[in-house]
């Protein structure tokens, strides 16, 4: 029998669920314990932010919100590996990566509060990243287009997109990785596999043993990592970014994690998944393993944890107040930024809305 090709998917993990090292070749960044503490602090900040966001929604101060509970290692690992000049195209829950790159919580709140100005990030390097993308997988095409532009311009920049396990079944994802492989583009596509596409489980989404292997047909480098191990995510990202930056092609990284909360605040996951499964997910969650590892290294303790949580609470209160105190846009804003010249039918609608406003409606 003649074999045309063979493929393998490597699985990368450095810390197990209890925070024990499972291999001795820690990457250089992980040996910088001060840096690892900073990454943990951002993960903790992200979790505090997430809880505050849900509380805002429950009290009617925020619209539907997509929680990132359980994704902290995957998201912070992605953002922290990138260079400022790189570009990030997210879906709608990668807050840890965005916070690392300068997105402010108040901007997240504005977006989920129905104010599109939240997408106008004010700080670098987030200012040149893409806005949130709720249509599933379209952001992958945006990233591929950016990667093509970087190649044409001869820029040593990389486009990174994130997608969920369900979203990786969309044609937009396949189109993006196919062009990346065909044109040798600097694209890194990260599948954050949290096991559930709303109520559809991973096991019936794809017949492939791994989601990482979807990139094989596109000719990309593929790897699966423990998405609850920030060292593994960060290492895989660093390697993929370096290859892409050096003209060695794109990558697909599958970060295996678990969605500990509901899909969004409009969802009730108890209707479709069992308590035992969620309990198992909590046993592998990312915060515990990194905290245990840092405590064992004697660079973190309960006192530092509580002090940082207090700082996070103060930070979140300031961000929430900034969001709630933001002046509402005039009603005409919904018409002003769609066309350079407003079509007659929209101009008529705008005039009608203004007439209602002038009458006090």
Helices 33-58 & 286-296 angle (0-180, nearest 10): 150
Q: How many residues are recorded in the chain?
A: 361
Tell which residue, 213, 221, 219, has the closest CA to residue 188. Answer: 221
| Alpha helices (H) in 103-160, listed in sequence order | 105-112, 138-153
Tell which residue, 169, 193, 190, has the closest CA to residue 258. Answer: 193
361 is catalytic: no
Of residues 47, 259, 289, 291, which has the active-site annotation?
Answer: 259
Of residues 234, 263, 289, 291, which has the active-site annotation?
Answer: 263
In 3-state terms, what secondary structure has residue 187? strand
In 3-state terms, what secondary structure has residue 129? coil
State how far the Cα of 317 lies from the Cα of 98, in Å rounded to an integer. 19
Q: Hey, what are 241's tokens?
A: 């970014």
Q: Hey, what are 333's tokens?
A: 């804003």
Check: CB of residue 190 under 8 Å from CB of residue 212: no
Check: CB of residue 76 under 8 Å from CB of residue 100: yes
263 is catalytic: yes
Of residues 35, 58, 272, 352, which has the active-site annotation?
Answer: 272
75 is catalytic: no
Q: Kind and range of the H or E element at 307?
A: helix 302-324
Q: Which residues contact 32 (CB under 8 A, 6 or more apart)?
A: none
Strand stretches in 187-344, DSSP E = 187-193, 196-197, 200-201, 221-226, 251-256
Active-site residue numbers? 259, 263, 272
């Amino acid at each position: 029998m003649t074999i045309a090709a063979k493929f393998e998917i490597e699985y990368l993990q450095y810390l197990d669920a209890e925070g024990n090292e499972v291999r001795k070749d820690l990457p250089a960044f992980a040996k910088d314990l001060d840096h690892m503490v900073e990454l943990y602090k951002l993960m903790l900040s992200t979790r505090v932010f997430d809880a505050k966001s849900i509380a805002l929604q429950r009290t009617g101060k925020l619209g539907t919100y997509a929680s990132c509970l359980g994704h902290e290692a995957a998201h912070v690992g992605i953002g922290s590996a990138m260079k400022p000049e790189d570009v990030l195209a997210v879906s709608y829950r990668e807050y840890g990566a965005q916070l690392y790159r300068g997105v402010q919580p108040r901007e997240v709140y504005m977006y989920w509060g129905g104010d599109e100005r939240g997408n106008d990030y004010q700080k670098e390097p987030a200012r040149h990243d893409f806005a949130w993308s709720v249509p599933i997988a379209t952001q992958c095409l945006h990233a591929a287009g950016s990667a093509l532009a970087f190649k044409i311009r001869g820029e040593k920049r990389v486009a990174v997109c994130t997608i969920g396990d369900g979203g990786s079944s969309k044609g937009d994802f396949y189109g993006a990785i196919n062009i990346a492989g065909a044109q040798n583009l600097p694209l890194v596509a990260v599948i954050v596999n949290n096991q559930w596409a709303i109520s559809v489980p991973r096991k019936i989404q794809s017949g492939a043993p791994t989601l990482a292997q979807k990139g094989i047909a596109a000719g990309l480098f593929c790897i699966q990592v423990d998405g609850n191990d920030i060292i593994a995510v960060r290492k895989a990202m660093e390697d993929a970014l370096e290859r892409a930056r050096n003209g060695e092609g794109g990558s697909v990284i599958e970060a295996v994690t678990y969605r500990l909360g509901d899909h969004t605040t409009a969802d009730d996951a108890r209707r479709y998944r069992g308590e035992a499964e969620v309990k198992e997910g909590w046993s592998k969650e990312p915060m515990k393993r990194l905290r245990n590892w840092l405590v064992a290294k004697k660079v973190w303790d309960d006192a530092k944890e509580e002090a940082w949580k207090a700082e996070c609470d103060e930070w979140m209160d300031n961000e929430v107040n900034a969001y709630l105190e933001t002046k509402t846009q005039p009603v005409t804003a919904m018409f002003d930024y769609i066309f350079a010249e407003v079509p007659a039918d929209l101009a008529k609608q705008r005039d009608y809305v203004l007439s209602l406003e002038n009458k006090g409606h």
